[in-house]
Amino acid sequence: MLNENYLLLIPLLPLAGFVLLGLFGKKYLKNASGMIGTLLLLASALLALYVAYGYFFEFGKVDRVYQKMIGFQFTWLQFNNGVSIDMGALVDPISVMMLVVITFVSLMVHIYSLGYMKGEERFATYYSFLGLFTFSMLGLVMSSNIFQIYIFWELVGISSFLLIGFYYEKPSAVAACKKAFIVTRFADLGFLIGILILSFYSGTLDFNTLIQRLTSPDSAQFQNAITSSFLGISALTWGMVLVFMGGAGKSAMLPFHIWLPDAMEGPTPVSALIHAATMVVAGVYLIARLFPVFALSAPDALHLVAYVGAITAFFAAVIACTQTDIKRVLAFSTISQIGYMMFALGVAKYGSEAALGYTASMFHLFTHAMFKALLFLGAGSVIHFIHSNEMKDMGGLRKYLPVTHITFLIACLAISGIPPFSGFFSKEEILLAASQNNQFIFWIGLITSGLTAFYMFRLYFSIFWNKATPSLPDKSHGEGGFVMNLPLILLAIGAALAGFIPFGNFVSASGKPVEPGFHWQFSFLPVLLALTGILIAMRMYKKENLLPDKIASSFGGFYKAAYHKFYFDELYLFITKKIIFNLIGKPATWFDRNIVNGLVNATGNTTATVSAKIKGIQSGKVQQYGLYFLVATIAMAVLFIYWWK
């Protein structure tokens, strides 16, 4: 049976870590804080595995359908029309899967940081922020109420802000964390409006009730939401599009993707945890959570999701081919892969066979967390060794970093979709789902997977092969120790073997198992494309040569545009500075300073001037007082005698 206490302890243990290390870490627990954080998270991970085992194998299934259960609920804020903000824990296949992913990856990052962040002065603060983030993310996936998910959404945003700006003395880090927060906050405005629309039409904030009311065609709320429309689009579609806007912001979809490359200013383990495996998939998770409403009641919104996801995947892959900072390459790779997850959800339909996209998306989320975290941690090891992020400073490192080399290779093979690694299975399912429902998106996905293989192996060869004798820094200390290699090995095992999990039996849109139906003929084309990409990269980058530069100059302007990320940042800067600041901000400031402030000042000045004029009446001369007294008395006497009847 579901044990409520264990379920609640899973997020509360990292929260306890945050509070404890935040309050006492700096002074008292400096060196022990890493161990304390890691141990708390180890307990949380074991509890998550226990709950997952129990759910998937023991009590979750009723009549071969996985049930959505409420583990815990209490009413926090009750509005008087029946709507209430509850705090609850929802247990269903995707939330349990996410619990396992988040705690496992977070545990790996905790262990890795014991080595990577050693000697950092704000060591305890770092671990307390990691605890806050883990708590927020776990709360987000366990939310049973749409407003609760919004609360945890914002908490995750705050944790990301704190962690990106961890090295706050660097102005670039400060700018990056502000950018991340502002862009996601702007997208969250859409999310909030979407929440309001949905709760208005369905009369509730609880997920289960909301989904049930808005998807059954004969419920009054559904009729109401479908018929009321604004600018020709039904209110329900608007609500779902706005909710997707929030998800797009957090998951760095076009056009909100600008914050994720800059977020690489944070420490590399943070990038591994937040910007690869967990926070950026929150948007995908939100769409998956509301998938029945999308699929059954607002199919237009679902089309939007699919196209945005596909276009983002393609564009990010193109940009990633030109970047030279290894973390930026991985950031764009993340954007591209999340685009895959989005369009997989976008092409799915609700119902047992056609819901393959949903299962594929969740499966890719699971495997992507493993190999992307592995890629980032491996990049962290390289950066730790070379003390630089740029590809031109690296090359030929395979002899010096053996463990990193092998695990990085496994991760690159996984992300390129080479069998038998996990990425092959999850990507195949996505491409299969796309080919069954939307040919255009299928072809985009196919081309992008070729590009993915190319740029990932460009990265791999540039770091570990390329130069015959690498240029090492003066004080090189060898590969990181056991604490840095252990997470790499564990994640590599996951990346290699996770593909063999029969995911469709556990996670699907309707709770019933989904068979992917494996077609060997189908996989032939994508694998061939991936191998082609790998061979091209090998030809260009394995040995040092001039071929990359010649090809880059032959593309000319297109290459330059891709290198500058298609000038999206410049465009946004132009809009905010020239248009918003000058046309709206400056007049508003002038109005506030001169008219509003001026009015207050004028009141004060007038009072002072009038009082200066009047104060002469109190002159201190008794005769004057007597004179006024007499005149007033005569006036009052006249008034009373002649006028008052």
Partner 1 sequence: MEGSTIIFYLLAALTLISAILAVSTRQIFRAAIFLLFSLIGIAGLYFWMQYQFIAAVQIVVYVGGITVLIIFSIFLTQQAGEKMPKQKIGRQIFSVLAVFCGFALVMLQVSQYNFSSIAAIPVAPSVENIGSGMVGINEGGFALPFEVVSMLLLAALIGCIVIAMRSPEEPVNKQKEEILIEAEIDVIV
Partner 2 sequence: MLQPGLNHILFISTALFFIGVYGFFTRRNLVTILMSVELVLNSVNLNFIAFNKYVWAGKLDGLFFTIFVIAIAAAEAAVAIAIIINLYRSHHSIDVNKAEEMKF
| Footprint on this chain of partner 1 (rule: CB under 8 A) | 623-624, 627, 630-631, 633-634, 637-638, 641
What's the min distance (Å) between Cβ of 626 and partner 2?
Answer: 6
Strand, helix or coil for residue 122: coil
Assign residue 348 a region (left: φ > 0; alpha: ψ between -120 and 50; beta: otherwise): beta
What Rg value do the Cα atoms of the chain yield, rounded?
A: 30
What's the min distance (Å) between Cβ of 617 and partner 1?
Answer: 15
| Residue whose tokens read 């069998």 | 419
Number of residues that bind partner 2 (CB under 8 A): 11
CA distance 171 to 492: 35
* Residue 616 interacts with, from partner 2, partner 1, none (CB under 5-8 Å by kind): partner 2
Those residues whose C-beta lies under 8 Å from the C-beta of residue 382, and which sit 6 or more positions away, are 326, 394, 397, 401, 404, 463
Three-class SS string for 289-318?
HCHHHHHHHCHHHHHHHHHHHHHHHHHHHH
Among 573, 610, 630, 637, binds partner 2 (CB under 8 A): 630
What's the min distance (Å) between Cβ of 196 and partner 2?
Answer: 59
Cβ distance 187 to 246 under 8 Å?
A: yes
Those residues whose C-beta lies under 8 Å from the C-beta of residue 643, and which sit 6 or more positions away, are none
What's the min distance (Å) between Cβ of 614 and partner 1?
Answer: 19
What's the min distance (Å) between Cβ of 630 and partner 2?
Answer: 6
* Residue 620 interacts with, from partner 1, partner 2, none (CB under 5-8 Å by kind): partner 2
What's the min distance (Å) between Cβ of 622 and partner 2?
Answer: 7
φ, ψ dihedrals at 216, nearest 5°: -85, 125
Q: Which two tokens stand for residue 180?
A: 């991340």
Per DSSP, the residues of 137-183 read HHHHHHB-BHHHHHHHHHHHHHHHHHHHTTSTTSHHHHHHHHHHHHH
Q: Which two tokens stand for residue 620?
A: 């201190």
CA distance 87 to 108: 29
> Residue 568: exposed, middle, or buried by beta-carbon count in 10 A (0-12, 13-18, 19+)?
middle
Of 579 and 636, CB closest to partner 2: 636
Residues pairing with 233 in the sheet: 230
Of 62 and 630, CB closest to partner 1: 630
* Residue 638 interacts with, from partner 2, partner 1, none (CB under 5-8 Å by kind): partner 1
Taking alpha carbons only, the member of 359, 528, 510, 532 closest to residue 432 is 359
The mark string for 321-360 relative to partner 2 (x by CB under 8 A, - otherwise) is ----------------------------------------
Of 575 and 638, CB closest to partner 2: 638
Of 229 and 624, CB closest to partner 2: 624
What's the min distance (Å) between Cβ of 620 and partner 2?
Answer: 3
* Residue 631 interacts with, from partner 2, partner 1, none (CB under 5-8 Å by kind): partner 1
Element (H, E) at 391: none
* Residue 573 interacts with, from partner 2, partner 1, none (CB under 5-8 Å by kind): none
Of 500 and 628, CB closest to partner 1: 628
Cβ distance 253 to 284 under 8 Å?
A: no
Of 598 and 626, CB closest to partner 2: 626
CA distance 430 to 230: 34
* Residue 497 interacts with, from partner 2, partner 1, none (CB under 5-8 Å by kind): none
Of 189 and 635, CB closest to partner 1: 635
Those residues whose C-beta lies under 8 Å from the C-beta of residue 552, and which sit 6 or more positions away, are 322, 559
* Residue 634 interacts with, from partner 1, partner 2, none (CB under 5-8 Å by kind): partner 1
- How many helices (H) does the chain have, and how many strands (E)? 27, 6
Distances (CA, A) of 181 to 9, 162, 177, 275, 581: 29, 10, 6, 13, 19
Q: How many CB atoms lie within 10 A of CB 182?
A: 13
Cβ distance 333 to 372 under 8 Å?
A: yes
Of 574 and 625, CB closest to partner 1: 625
* Residue 622 interacts with, from partner 2, partner 1, none (CB under 5-8 Å by kind): partner 2
Taking alpha carbons only, the member of 17, 438, 330, 449 closest to residue 9 is 17
What's the min distance (Å) between Cβ of 621 and partner 1?
Answer: 10
Find the part of the chain contacting partner 2 (CB under 8 A) among 137-145, 352-360, 534-542, 625-633: 625-633
What's the min distance (Å) between Cβ of 633 and partner 1?
Answer: 8
Question: Which parts of 556-615 interact with partner 2 (CB under 8 A)?
Answer: 615
Of 62 and 634, CB closest to partner 1: 634
Of 1 and 641, CB closest to partner 1: 641
What's the min distance (Å) between Cβ of 618 and partner 1?
Answer: 17
* Residue 641 interacts with, from partner 2, partner 1, none (CB under 5-8 Å by kind): partner 1
What's the min distance (Å) between Cβ of 634 and partner 1?
Answer: 5
The mark string for 604-623 relative to partner 2 (x by CB under 8 A, - otherwise) is -----------xx-xxxxxx
What's the min distance (Å) between Cβ of 639 and partner 1?
Answer: 11
What's the min distance (Å) between Cβ of 592 and partner 2?
Answer: 36
Element (H, E) at 345: helix 326-346
CA distance 520 to 412: 22
Of 579 and 635, CB closest to partner 2: 635
* Residue 554 interacts with, from partner 1, partner 2, none (CB under 5-8 Å by kind): none
Binding site for partner 2 (CB under 8 A): 615-616, 618-623, 626-627, 630
